[in-house]
Structure formats: structure tokens, C-alpha cells
């Protein structure tokens, strides 16, 4: 069993959540009761991969629920002075042990505000202290560098939003059914994308492994996936600095610093098309290698497939950056460890037992 095998398991928990979505969210609706009708904001709080999952899901959470939604890091959240008493505060931590996430949830609970914990077990510290718990199905993920956990954090947020939208009549039965169909389709395509990514890496292996750093661009939902991809390349491959940018924001200065020692990875799913195409041309004409993921620009560096025109497109792009990170590690002979003691434990603490 290696990390790539784990990445390939993502469709299993996706399908399980689709089947069990009503049961998974029942306790939350029992807890909220009549308060559901008064909620006017959804606040998504998480650290690390939990934060990138919040960035990925927040746009859809707002659309499906019909409620204004934001994503915020716990450190920034705790520095706030004004909190919405009618907010729904959703705290995500796969292990349920993220220190500041637990502190933030405790603060909201003490104020009497609605809190929901999303973790991999009802026995985690975050789950036990929360107003209610929604299970994150992770298929018993073995690796500390979360891949199944990223996808299922995003997907759990989305399912919660769909159920809220349906109950509040912000989402029609027809729209709800279409989202379920779209999610199933995304899960069904996952293995094909994994295979294509392995072939793409083999084809571009020399270029990818001989860079000093990676820059990943994504728009909309895929901005969160770009952030997660940057995190994965850094924590798994351990040889490259990597940064993720929103497609527009990454034009405001960063492009001035790129050289042919940087691999610029561009998610082209059809959003911000003029900006995306301009960035591709600029990098290839003036800098070096642009690796386009999604729409085919007829270049050997591309990983071409037809991006879904649905909010579940992240399930196509997540395995690309996850497998990229894994291959960069494995092909350099780097051992990817399963869950164990964090190397920085003697210096600072980010998780509590």
C-alpha cells in the first residue's frame, strides 16, 4: 500500500456519503431545530488541509444553502471582535485535534452560538465538545498528508449545504437531484484521471523533477485546490517550495519573479478564460514551462481532459496535484510515512491529543 493507492480510494467514501447523506446530517438538523430558519451566515473554520477544503467548498456552500458563507483560518477568527449570533459555525479537523480550531469552537459554544464539528470519528475532542457532529468518511486513511481527507472535507461541506438548501427551500428538488447526479459522475471519473496523471508525469518527468519550485493557479472552486496542491507538493515531496494562487490575484506581482526554474501549473477548467489563456501564453513565450491541466492547448506538457462544468470539478483536479506530489517524492526515493509523530513536536504544537 502506498499513497497513490490511497488517493485512488477517494470514490469509495464519496459514494458512501451519497448513499448515507440523510443519516449523516440527521443529528445536525435535530440539534439546530427551529434555529435553522434564523441562520443568516455559514462560517467555515479549519487549519491546513481543513482550511484549503473550506476555501474549495465555500462558493458552493453559499450557492446551495442560499446563505452567505465565508472561510477563515482559526487564528484570524480568534482575533475578531464581532461574531454573528445567527451564524452557523462549522469547524473541520479530520483528527479533531487541531489546537486553535478547538479553541475557536469552544469560544463559540460558550457564546451560545450554533456549532458543528466535522471529524473522522465521533470520539475526537472536537466532536465531543461540539454542539453536534457530522462524520467525515475517510475510509480509514493511513497517511498524515491528507488526500482522502481533503476531498471528503470538501464533499461533506457540500452535502451539508445541499441538505440545508433543500430544507430551507433555497434548493429545488430538481436542482438537488442534479447535484447528486453530478457528484456521482465526478466520482466515476476519478480513476481515469488518476491513470491520465500517471501517464502525464511519466511523459514530463524530467522537466517536473528538475525544477526548483512550483506555482499552481486555479479559479473559483479550484483556487482552494491550488492551495491544497501547493501544500501537498511541499509536505510530501519535501524538495520544492510551492505556492498556490487565485487565477487573477496571481497576476498582481508574482509573474514578475518567474524563471525557467519554476514549473507553472495552470488549472484550465474554462473559468476566467481570457486571464488563463494570457497566462499560458506569457509563461510559454517569456518564462519556460507551463503545465496546463484540463482544457487541451495542444502542447506536450498538458494533462488534457474535459473538465466537468459542475461544482464537483475539484474531484478531477485534486488527484492530479496529489499524485504529482507523490510521484515527485517516490521517484526521488523519498519515503512517505503513514501517520506518526510530527517532526516539529519538540518546538511547537498544532494538535492536541
Cα-trace Rg, the chain = 20
Q: What is the CATH number of domain 190-330?
A: 3.40.50.10490
Model pTM? 0.95
Burial category of 122 from C-beta neighbours within 10 Å (exposed 0-12, middle 13-18, buried 19 and up): middle
**Of 60, 104, 111, 69, the residue nearest 88 (C-alpha):** 69
Reported confidence tier of residue 349, pLDDT bands at 50, 70, 90 = low
Scan for cell 441538505, then name that residue: 163
**339: confidence class by pLDDT, cuts 50, 70, 90:** low
User: Please, which pLDDT band fits residue 55 given cuts at 50, 70 and 90?
Assistant: very high
pLDDT in tens, 14-36: 999 999 999 999 999 999 999 99
Please report the pLDDT score of residue 348 as a whole number.
47
The whole-angstrom separation of Cα 148 and Cα 141 is 7
φ, ψ of residue 242 to 5 degrees: the values are: -145, 140
The model's confidence at residue 350, banded by pLDDT at 50, 70 and 90, is: low
Span 237-275, pLDDT tens digits: 988 899 999 999 988 988 989 999 999 999 999 988 899
CA distance 307 to 299: 17
* Model pLDDT for residues 209-247, shown as the tens digit of each residue: 999 999 999 999 999 999 999 999 999 998 889 999 999
- Over residues 66-80, the pLDDT tens digits come to 999 999 999 999 999
Instruction: Name the β-bridge partners of 132.
Output: 116
Q: Given the DSSP bridges, would you call strands 290-294 and 303-304 parallel, antiparallel or unpaired?
A: parallel
- Relative to beta strand 290-294, strand 262-268 is parallel
Q: Quick one: pLDDT at residue 345?
A: 59
**Residue 58 scores a pLDDT above 80:** yes
Confidence at residue 140, expressed as pLDDT on a 0 to 100 scale: 87
> What grid cell was written down for 290?
507551463
* Sequence ranges of the domains in the chain: 3-184, 190-330
Give me the residues paired with residue 213 across strands.
Answer: 241, 262
CATH class of residue range 3-184: alpha beta
Q: For residues 188 and 193, give the distance between their C-alpha atoms in angstroms, rounded to a whole number.
A: 10
> Which residue in 21, 48, 30, 15 sits closest to 232, CA to CA?
48
Distance of CA 106 to the CA centre of its chain: 24
- Do the beta carbons of residue 332 and residue 237 sit within 8 Å? yes
| Buried/exposed code over 28-46 (b: 16+ C-beta within 10 A; e: otherwise) | beebbeeeeeebebbbbbb
Tell me what the pLDDT averaged over the chain comes to.
94
Q: Tell me what percent of the residues of the chain surpass a pLDDT of 90.
A: 86
Identical fold at 3-184 and 190-330?
yes
Amino acid at each position: 500500500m502506498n499513497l497513490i493507492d490511497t488517493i485512488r480510494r477517494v470514490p469509495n467514501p464519496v459514494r458512501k456519503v451519497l448513499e448515507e447523506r440523510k443519516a449523516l446530517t440527521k443529528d445536525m438538523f435535530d440539534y439546530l431545530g427551529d434555529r435553522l430558519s434564523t441562520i443568516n451566515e455559514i462560517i467555515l473554520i479549519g487549519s491546513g488541509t481543513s482550511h484549503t477544503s473550506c476555501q474549495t467548498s465555500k462558493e458552493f456552500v453559499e450557492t446551495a444553502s442560499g446563505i452567505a458563507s465565508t472561510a477563515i483560518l482559526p487564528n484570524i477568527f480568534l482575533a475578531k471582535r464581532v461574531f454573528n449570533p445567527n451564524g452557523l459555525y462549522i469547524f473541520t479537523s479530520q483528527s479533531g485535534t487541531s489546537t486553535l480550531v478547538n479553541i475557536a469552537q469552544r469560544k463559540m459554544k460558550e457564546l451560545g452560538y450554533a456549532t458543528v464539528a466535522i471529524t473522522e470519528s465521533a470520539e475526537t475532542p472536537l466532536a465531543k465538545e461540539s454542539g453536534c457532529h457530522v462524520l467525515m468518511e475517510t475510509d480509514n486513511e493511513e497517511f498524515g498528508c491528507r488526500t482522502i481527507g481533503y476531498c471528503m472535507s470538501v464533499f461533506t461541506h457540500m452535502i451539508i449545504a445541499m441538505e440545508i438548501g433543500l430544507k430551507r427551500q433555497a434548493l429545488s428538488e430538481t436542482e438537488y437531484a442534479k447535484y447528486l447526479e453530478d457528484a456521482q459522475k465526478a466520482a466515476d471519473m476519478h480513476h481515469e484521471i488518476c491513470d491520465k496523471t500517471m501517464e502525464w508525469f511519466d511523459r514530463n518527468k524530467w522537466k517536473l523533477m528538475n525544477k526548483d519550485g512550483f506555482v499552481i493557479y486555479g479559479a473559483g472552486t479550484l483556487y482552494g485546490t491550488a492551495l491544497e496542491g501547493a501544500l501537498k507538493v511541499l509536505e510530501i515531496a519535501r524538495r520544492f517550495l510551492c505556492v498556490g494562487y487565485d487565477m487573477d490575484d496571481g497576476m498582481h506581482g508574482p509573474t514578475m519573479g518567474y524563471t525557467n526554474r519554476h514549473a507553472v501549473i495552470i488549472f484550465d477548467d474554462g473559468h476566467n478564460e481570457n486571464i488563463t489563456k494570457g497566462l499560458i501564453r506569457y509563461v510559454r513565450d517569456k518564462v519556460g514551462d507551463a503545465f496546463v491541466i484540463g482544457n487541451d492547448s495542444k502542447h506536450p506538457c498538458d494533462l488534457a481532459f474535459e473538465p466537468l462544468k459542475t461544482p464537483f470539478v475539484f474531484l478531477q483536479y485534486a488527484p492530479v496535484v496529489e499524485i504529482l506530489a507523490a510521484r515527485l517524492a517516490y521517484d526521488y526515493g523519498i519515503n512517505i510515512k503513514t501517520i506518526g509523530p510530527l517532526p516539529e513536536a519538540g518546538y511547537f504544537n498544532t494538535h492536541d491529543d
